Amino acid sequence: MRASIVLTCLVLIFLCTVYANAEEGAKWVGIDEAVMEKIASEHGREASGPLINTDQGDLLLFLFLLAGAIGGFIAGYYYRMLMEAKPEIKTRVVNQNAN
Amino acid sequence: MDKNTWFFKSTLLVIFTPLGILLLFETNAFAMHISEGILPLTWAVLWYLLMIPFLGIGIIQIRKRVKKEPYLKPLLGLSSALVFVISLMPIPVPIAGTCSHPCGTAISAIILGPFMSVVVSFCALLLQALFLAHGGLSTLGSNTLSMGVAGSFASYGVFLLLRKLRFSLPVCGFMAGLMADWATYSATAMQLALGVRGEEAFLPLFSKILIAFIPTQLPLGVLEGFITLGVITVLLKRRPDLIEFIYGLRTQEVRA
């Protein structure tokens, strides 16, 4: 438990650093904008908009939240299925191991 | 509280406390794949053509194995969801002042094998390109090739090599995660340099892009290593028979 508390503290310190830097006005742009699009632009290539433009207002935030929630639910569902596998599945795995 | 429960609860605490706090921050969308329209059409098509054989083999493997192996469906579902969520997660890197995301392909490559991991990456990237303004459809081939193919094969290769050298499973998992991230961004740097260089020499531009990635991706690679280590360790503790079955290793050896 001590190790996990130390790790959590380290992560909290990291987040505080992020927050402090954000307050100073740092933009926290994605590396695509900071590196890829910048270099592409220097060479005459500009990014065009996505086919389905969901980057409008808070729509994208909503979709990210939805995607995270659905992804998390699916991960949890299958994790539970694996950890609490039906006895016949476990038996079949063990039998296949034996073979 | 037994040791497994303690380990599981500690892992959840370490992973989900910071994630929960991250949700409190106001964020914009941070896409880290090559955006729509950046690559010329010829290069976009070439990356698609190079990616398709890997995708095809992956699909054939899934169709064949899913009938024989009862645990494969839940493993496929778990890996797909993890890759999708992990590759959506923008993480701020204080030393660089930018955001980027891990890839998660090391987890799917270790659990499913590299070819099936390509299929998982393709599906995740397709959904992101369609609905989340993340990457693009014209660059889907190049992004799958970098994240799916380069990330999966590099991590899987490192994992197998270190296993042969008798490193413990968590160490192998950590190194696989590290390599997945670094290989992905090296491949992206190569694709971008080839796509936009025009008459300019390839190597200087490639080095320039790679060096620009380093402040962000160096620490993120380490983080991805820890994420992979965590997932593999949890699976190992909770279902050693699965890991044993996947790699045909004796439990004692796996636990060493």
Nearest neighbour of B97 by CB, restricted to A28, A54, A82 = A28
- Does residue A41 share a domain with residue A70? no
Is residue A42 domain-shared with residue A67, that is, in the same domain?
Answer: no
- Nearest CB to A28 within list B92, B133, B235: B92
Instruction: Write down the pLDDT at residue B134.
Output: 85
Tokens of A17: 């650093």
Q: Which two tokens stand for residue B204?
A: 């200087």
Residues A65 and A91 both lie in one domain: yes
Report the candidate in B95, B209, B79, B228 with the shortest Cα–Cα distance to residue B146: B209
What sign has the CA pseudo-torsion B182, B183, B184, B188? positive
d(CA B112, CA B104): 13
Domain boundary among A48, A71, A87: A48
* pLDDT at position A1 over 90: no
Q: How many CB atoms lie within 10 A of CB B27?
A: 14
Check if the beta carbon of residue B98 is closer than 8 Å to that of residue B216: yes
More confident residue, B209 or A5: B209
Among residues B164, B90, B91, the alpha carbon closest in space to that of B132 is found at B90
Instruction: State the pLDDT at residue B193.
Output: 94
Q: Which residue has the higher pLDDT, A18 or B237?
A: B237
pLDDT number for residue B118? 96
Q: Which two tokens stand for residue B106?
A: 């090391």
Q: How far apart are CA B41 and CA B48, in angstroms?
A: 11
Report d(CA B94, CA A22) in Å as an integer: 9
Are A56 and A43 contained in the same domain?
A: no
CA distance B254 to B232: 11
Tokens of A3: 């190790």
Go through A64-88 and write b for each residue having 16 or more CB atoms within 10 A of its CB, e for each that does not. Answer: beebbeebeebbeebbebbeebeee
Q: Which two tokens stand for residue B33?
A: 């794949």
Tokens standing for residue B190: 């190569």
C-alpha A51/C-alpha B124 separation (Å) is 17
Taken in order of first residue, the domains within chain B and their CATH numbers are: 40-255 (1.10.1760.20)
Q: Which domain holds residue A61?
A: 52-99
Say whether both A74 and A44 belong to one domain: no
The answer to whether the Cβ–Cβ distance between B99 and A50 falls below 8 Å is no
Residues A61 and A27 in one domain: no
Which of B176, B184, B190 has its CA nearest to residue B216? B184
Tell me the Cα Rg of chain B.
18
- Total domains, chain A: 2
Same domain, A64 and A96: yes
Q: What is the dihedral of CA A91, A92, A96, A98, to 10 degrees?
A: 20
Which residues in chain A touch residue B217, judged by CB atoms under 8 angstroms apart? 31
Task: Give the rounded distance of the alpha carbon of B51 from its chain centre.
Answer: 16
ipTM of this complex = 0.77
Q: What is the pLDDT along chain B (256 residues), one digit of tens a residue?
A: 555 555 545 554 554 555 444 444 434 434 568 888 899 999 999 999 999 999 999 999 999 988 888 788 898 999 999 999 999 888 888 877 888 889 999 999 999 999 999 999 999 999 999 998 888 899 999 999 999 999 999 999 999 999 889 888 889 999 999 999 999 999 999 999 999 988 889 999 999 999 999 888 899 999 999 999 999 888 888 887 777 667 665 555 545 4
**CB-based contact B128:B134 (threshold 8 Å):** yes
Q: Which of A29, A90, A93 sits opposite B98 (nearest CB)?
A: A29
pLDDT digits (tens, 9 = 90+) for A30-61: 887 788 888 888 888 888 888 888 888 889 88
Q: Are residues A32 and A60 in the same domain?
A: no
Helix (H), strand (E) at residue B6: helix B3-22
- Using CB atoms and an 8 Å cut-off, which of residues 112-141 of chain B contact chain A? 127, 129-133, 136-137
Residue A99 and residue A56 in one domain: yes
Q: Do A65 and A96 lie in a common domain?
A: yes
Is A93 in contact with B245 (Cβ distance < 8 A)? Answer: yes
Q: The whole model's pTM is what? A: 0.80
Of A29, A48, A67, which closes a domain?
A48
Do A10 and A34 fall into the same domain? yes
A79 and A42, same structural domain? no
CA distance B22 to chain A (A): 8
